[in-house]
Structure 1
Amino acid sequence: MIKLLKFENIYGIKKLNNISLINEDTIIYSPNGVMKSSFADGLETISNNENPKDIFNDIDGVYEIEYNDGVVNKVITDASPDKKMNLFVFRGEDLSKEIFLNPELANIVISSELKEQYEDKLSLINDKMDRIKEIVTLNILEGKLGAKTSETKYHNFMLQFGGKSLLERINNFLSRSHSKIKEDIREIKYENIFNIKTEQILTEADFAEQAKKYNELKEKKLNEIIFNNEFGISQLQDSHTNLIKNNYYKAGHKLLINDVQLDEQGVDTLIKNTIESVYESEEMLTIFNKVKSTLDKNADTRKLREELSKNSWLLEKLSNSQQFKIDFIFTKLDSFLGEMLSIRDEMEIIMKDISAIFEDAKKYVSTWDEVIKKYNLRFVNKYYEIKIKDKPNAVIGLEQPQFINVFKGTNDEISEEEFNRFSSGEKRAIYILYFLFEVERRKQLGEKFIIVADDIVDSFDYKNKYSMIEYLGELSSDSQIQIIILTHNFDFYRSCRHSFGSKLKSQLFAFLNQNGEVDLFDISSTDYESFNLIEKWKDEDDPLSLIALIPFLRNIIELKDGKNDPDYLKLTDYLHYNLTTGTIDLSNLSAIYGGFSIKCTSINNNTYFDVLLDEVKKMNSSISEIDLKSKTVLGIFIRVASDYYLLNEYRRLNNRCNPIIPPNSRWSNKLKNLVYPQLSARGKEIIDKSIVVAPPFAHVNSFMYEPLIDVGTETLFDVANELILNIY
């Protein structure tokens, strides 16, 4: 985790004062243009082992950070050689920039670190393959590097070695067995012998048969002249070469062949004259000329004919044209063979590294499932949900994970045209998925890490904003994670404070002072909340209005007399379902209503929960999206009914016993923590949905109900009706 001691001249931040206030999980409210992006960018640059600077004045940044990852405790400064920190920055503005650049919404779950590792290895592989291409192009194909024709020729050249990829074809090529050709082939061009036209002829049975006859006849005649089958011309050539290498002739020795003593030059002459006499024999010339005539078809085949005319020995080699081709290629590349084999070995090592990266990526498949499930459960999309396409083939860099949008309840993929009809908020919600995956991936590593969230929900609608706040609140309970939240949205700031509770160690404001420096202020003990009462509800004298006024009245009493006031505590009981809620009714609030001049003659003797339930049942889904009163009552019902559901589940699981929760504590939160782990999957889904549309912190301050305007009535009704079905 990090503790900042100094932060100066970094991307526009002249100096960050009172920096020690940033402690553990922290939220900083700051107007735009003060420090958020500069602060996030600076930390990210440092964590990447680089030095940030003041880009406006070209001044080197000065900083001092205490960093503890659970193993190493070190102080990082601008002079430190090792500045790396396990930290990642998640920005709202980055997402909004990219949203329309990637209509397929692909690749968002690929870990940037694994992808970078793969791309680094792939770059090394490409460098090696480029060197192979250079050697082959210049020495076999005799082409020009970078030329389009050369690229095409190289591609076709490699295709003959088989394989699904160029890398596999290169490996097959370098693994082919071969022998070095003894004859001089320096002036013979590969393409004169092996091209599309000539290979059609070389593979014909008649040509191969004639070449075979030619070779057999040559061997027979060579051996007839001065040798026999046990020791022929080939054996003499091999022996002669070895004797030269071992200085046999230089020592004054000679060979006795057919009673004739021959020195080195004499043996050379014997071999040369013997071969020439054989090749010029009538039988040999007959076969040779017959073969040559078959090559007089077009310009490409005539090139081979010309080579045969100059090098008659070629014909015998072509009796096995495919092996001769391989021998020809590697003889041409003889001086590069060591380098090429070394490249092959290096590529094999790199490929093992890449395979290891693939294996790491495959381990995250189960994480993808959990993230998708969590996303689809917690984050609201009215029309579509997210699924992974071709999940088994999602391998880093080759087939990247592709996320598709399907209509809810179906597997029907949404077309690009259909998707473009959705609102920008609905589209942006999909990028939450990247954040969830990156967090879960890092959690799996079991290491401590820091999240810097820079205006991450600025473009989200309220539904998904609340879901993200709830998720961040859960992360703050993890001792392995430190969260630093930066925002210019005061509503989001306030919501995080209520959601995190005591887990949020630092609640700060950041403003520029007269010197252009950034001052941090601790406002954790100061009430910055404000609200406006809905005046007309006071005179409507109906249960709906009376219920909707409860949170507003509680706020006023809290401001006037504090949280320990009996009326405050009494009103709190109406915003939760605790151990006394089942027996109270609205008449218990008559004195409070009267104290605020609120008409309340419509109160009956039914219990409060029954009245609340009746009011919800009387509503219909056609109420206006801006009907704050009805939506407020729906929100209260969802909160109270979810408490009711949790309380009944607790009793069912604990022999009808009641939970022991200290008075004046966060009832809903404590109750949820007691019961949630034991709920069925369906039960967890119900509670999660309830939190999304009517989060518990919305009842701490009444004007937090304003966001309910942004929550669709259909969503509120769906959740309310689901609760009704499951509590009766």
Structure 2
Amino acid sequence: MEKIKMELANCYGIQKMNHFIDYSNNNVAIIYAPNGTMKSSLAKTFKDLREGEEPRELVFGRICNYSITDEAGLPINPNDIMVINPFDEEDFSEQGLLMANPKLRKKYISIHKGIDEKKEKLYEKIKEELGFGKRSVFNPQSTMLGDWGYDISKEKECFEKIFSLIGDSTMDCSSTVKKVKYDELFNDKAIQMVKTGNTAKLLENYEKQYNAIIDKSPYMQKGIIDHNNYGVICTTLGTNGFFKAKNNVTLMAKDGSKSITVKTLEELDDLIQKEKERVLNSAAVKSAFEQINKSLQKNKDTQAFAGLLRDNPDLVIEYKDVDLFKKKIWVKVFETLSGDVNDLLSEIKKAEADLIKLNDEAKKETTDWNIALSQFKQRFYVPFDIETSNKEDVILKSAMPSFKYIFRDEHDSLEVTKENMLEVLSTGEKRAYYILNMIFQVLVAEKKDKECLLILDDVSESFDYRNKYAIIEYIKDISEVKTSSGKRAFKILVLTHNFDFYRTIGSRITNRNNSFIAFSNGGEINFEKGQYITNLFGSYKKRLNNPDSDNIVVASIPFVRNLIEYTEGTKNEDYLLLTSILHNKDDSNTITYKQVEDIFNKYWCKNMNATFADGREDEKILDIIFAEANKIVDTESIAIENKLILAMALRQKAEVYMKEKIINTVPNGVDIVADINTKSNQSGRLKSAYKQHINDDKMGLMEIVSMITPENIHLNSFMFEPILDMSLHHLYDAYQKASALSA
């Protein structure tokens, strides 16, 4: 893998990109890209390839085309790609597990997700069976676990217990419960009454009378089989075609005195109904029921429950043991949904076997994790320690390895949860925490002993300088790792929108040929090679005396002005003269090229004697600025000098226009402008005065000038990232509009 060629079209935000990187002389490359240009889209494309998925265009649905090949024109093997974005919250939602190997973590999460989805669908069906709509807040999971006395960790055991009781005659109850909602069967106020006080005593009497009638029945036996059990038998035989097959049922009296043969479903159903009515309509049972009904009718909250029992008198006996009755309801629901429950339990059983295999694989990596933790602690500063928390469980109980976090300050230390820790940490400290994942993945990749294309997407973002330079040194170290055949193990592509990070990587680790600045031109991503890695103004200085160097001279004026400000202060007359080039002052139109040259030689070019004004001493600097601005074409590029020139020319045009407009249309306009000229922040004050006194259709352009020019004009050799990120097209467009203004 000496070269990679990337040909992309409509891959996420990348409309078009054709670019290649040569790793033959240096195995590290870096691309600086302003936000929104291509960085995240390129990382997503590589990630899709790694995971065997197709890149996409998400907004317009355009057809995506992509080709990422090596020097022989062969596609890069997805297994040889590794993409790391250490601040992807979704990727680290399970980071409590000591398992950063992406394949293992993905399998682990996929297994649990599959089970959770099946459970969710089952619970939705259970809700429906219990009489609740989809939007109901009723929680079948917590209700089931509560009714059966299990906690969430024993959910599977609860499923198995209920499922095992299907067909158990002791769990039979009246078929009429199918018509009644769970919350009607188990109204909180009613349940409280039937469990305590006078109603509970009345239920005991009801049960006594009920059992007495059952004892007299030739075919019913207390605790073994009653009309509810017979009802279930009747339904089962009818559903399964028992009588249609010309089969008979012989019922034996419990004392053996007689028997009856039933030849049809109707006969059996009629026999059961008569026995049921004989029990429920007996004088003793009816009297006991009326006493219960009166007790419930006294309370407004339980009157509806009384009506429920009046319509379904065969349910009354169930309330003698409410907890058992709830369990009977669950068994009946599971019986109805037995196919779904069986599928879920089978899936859980299979998942458990798969998880055991994953556990075994993850345990093998604990040694690598200890190495990763050690490297992390040595390289990065964070106010906490990370340690493995359950080594014994990993070894003895096949538990998944996990972290514990020890938070420290000057006075104390305390173990905290990951959630609590992340609430306390700064963004930079969080990113340092996520770098641990990268260290582990690199260790795993090293053990494969083959080349790997490593994509690092914004790994330095929001770091403090201590950790930022730690990650730079780490990248340098892993760039030197070799395979057993002597090749560099990693071909590294660093993506960043941190310009300082770009320059440091470009100067310390890679070279100009593998340092790129990306920019978008009409939807196509272009790259400039080796730009702005070294001192920008050192390069400008060497070009000052070249033919046609006017653009470099103009672009250097803001830097020299800042140099004077830092060394001499803002009252220095040379500083003030250069200020009159950046702002429109009374003397702006009189400043000559020779005056600019003299200031450059006095403060900046002491050892080289700039001569750019030779033969042109009396030319006016503003004329040169406007001439250079007019040469610039509306083609997107990263050339800083073009953006600086346009910004300077734009501000001059805008300030002249605002001054003339205020003077010509505002009664005391001359005084307003004169006062502004004596104060700092001239552009801002002019814009405010213009807005206050005029505020016409040109106000929007004045706002744009105020917004986009300061970052370009106030710069130094250490901070010109905003200029790179700014579109030349926006400056060009604003300059054309300002040039057309007439006060």
Task: Tell me, in whole angstroms, the C-alpha distance in 2 between the residues paired with 1:161 and 1:212.
Answer: 24
Equivalent residues of 2:428, 2:461 under 8 A apart: no
Partner amino acid, structure 2, of 1:48? E
Paired residues in the alignment total 496
| Correspondence list, 1:142-157, <5 A | 142-148=131-137, 150-151=138-139, 155-157=142-144
| TM-align CA RMSD | 5.9
Corresponding residue for 1:196? Answer: 188
Deviation at 1:137, TM superposition (A): 1.9
Task: Tell me, in whole angstroms, the C-alpha distance in 2 between the residues paired with 1:261 and 1:13.
Answer: 82
Deviation at 1:484, TM superposition (A): 1.5
Deviation at 1:116, TM superposition (A): 4.0
Deviation at 1:373, TM superposition (A): 2.5
Partner amino acid, structure 1, of 2:51? N
Label 1:207 to 1:114 Cα distance change in 2 as closer, same or farther (>3 A): farther
Equivalent residues of 2:377, 2:385 under 8 A apart: no
| Correspondence list, 1:137-536, <5 A | 137-140=127-130, 142-148=131-137, 150-151=138-139, 155-165=142-152, 168=155, 171=159, 174-175=162-163, 177-178=165-166, 179-181=171-173, 183-203=175-195, 206=201, 209-223=204-218, 246-247=242-243, 272-273=273-274, 275-299=276-300, 301-331=302-332, 334-350=335-351, 352-353=353-354, 357=358, 366-379=367-380, 381=381, 385-388=383-386, 391-392=389-390, 401=403, 403=405, 405-407=407-409, 411=413, 429-443=432-446, 449-454=452-457, 456-457=459-460, 464=467, 467-475=470-478, 476-479=480-483, 481-486=489-494, 489-496=502-509, 508-510=514-516
Deviations 1:87-133 (A, max 9, x none): 22345xx75x99xxx9xx98998555555444433433332222222
1:85 aligns with 2:91: no
Helix, strand or coil at the partner of 2:165? coil
Q: Which deviates more from structure 2 when the two are superposed, residues 257-266 or residues 453-462?
A: 257-266
Label 1:15 to 1:158 Cα distance change in 2 as closer, same or farther (>3 A): closer
Equivalent residues of 1:26, 1:484 under 8 A apart: yes
Corresponding residue for 2:552? Answer: none
Corresponding residue for 2:596? Answer: none
- Larger RCO (alpha carbons 8 Å, 6+ apart): 1
Task: Tell me, in whole angstroms, the C-alpha distance in 2 between the residues paired with 1:419 and 1:25.
Answer: 37
Deviations 1:586-645 (A, max 9, x none): xxxxxxxxxxxxxxxxxxxxxxxxxxxxxxxxxxxxxxxxxxxxxxxxxxxxxxxxxxxx
Task: Tell me, in whole angstroms, the C-alpha distance in 2 between the residues paired with 1:443 and 1:63.
Answer: 26
Label 1:176 to 1:290 Cα distance change in 2 as closer, same or farther (>3 A): farther
Task: Tell me, in whole angstroms, the C-alpha distance in 2 between the residues paired with 1:253 and 1:107.
Answer: 60
1:135 aligns with 2:139: no
Equivalent residues of 1:109, 1:401 under 8 A apart: no
Task: Tell me, in whole angstroms, the C-alpha distance in 2 between the residues paired with 1:16 and 1:344.
Answer: 52
Deviation at 1:510, TM superposition (A): 4.3
Partner amino acid, structure 2, of 1:147? S
Corresponding residue for 1:125? Answer: 115
Equivalent residues of 1:42, 1:52 under 8 A apart: yes
Equivalent residues of 2:194, 2:203 under 8 A apart: yes
Task: Tell me, in whole angstroms, the C-alpha distance in 2 between the residues paired with 1:5 and 1:510.
Answer: 14
Task: Tell me, in whole angstroms, the C-alpha distance in 2 between the residues paired with 1:436 and 1:259.
Answer: 81
Corresponding residue for 2:23? Answer: 22
Deviations 1:468-523 (A, max 9, x none): 444334423231831314476344333225xxxxxx9x963547899978679899
Equivalent residues of 1:308, 1:315 under 8 A apart: yes
Equivalent residues of 2:68, 2:75 under 8 A apart: yes
Equivalent residues of 1:451, 1:484 under 8 A apart: yes
Task: Tell me, in whole angstroms, the C-alpha distance in 1 between the residues paired with 2:314 and 2:183.
Answer: 18
Deviation at 1:222, TM superposition (A): 1.6
Helix, strand or coil at the partner of 1:471? helix
Task: Tell me, in whole angstroms, the C-alpha distance in 2 between the residues paired with 1:477 and 1:28.
Answer: 16
Task: Tell me, in whole angstroms, the C-alpha distance in 1 between the residues paired with 2:206 and 2:186.
Answer: 16
Label 1:156 to 1:449 Cα distance change in 2 as closer, same or farther (>3 A): same
Equivalent residues of 1:214, 1:316 under 8 A apart: no
Label 1:277 to 1:490 Cα distance change in 2 as closer, same or farther (>3 A): closer
Helix, strand or coil at the partner of 2:111? helix
Equivalent residues of 1:66, 1:74 under 8 A apart: yes
Equivalent residues of 2:359, 2:400 under 8 A apart: no
Label 1:43 to 1:154 Cα distance change in 2 as closer, same or farther (>3 A): closer
Structure 1 residue ranges without an equivalent (≥5) = 68-72, 78-82, 498-503, 533-706, 708-728
Deviations 1:330-351 (A, max 9, x none): 4356443322332333244345
Give the percent of matched residue pairs that are identical in Structure 1 and Structure 2: 19
Partner amino acid, structure 2, of 1:326? K
Task: Tell me, in whole angstroms, the C-alpha distance in 1 between the residues paired with 2:513 and 2:52.
Answer: 29
Task: Tell me, in whole angstroms, the C-alpha distance in 2 between the residues paired with 1:387 and 1:284.
Answer: 71
Label 1:110 to 1:262 Cα distance change in 2 as closer, same or farther (>3 A): closer
Equivalent residues of 1:450, 1:484 under 8 A apart: yes
Deviation at 1:217, TM superposition (A): 0.6
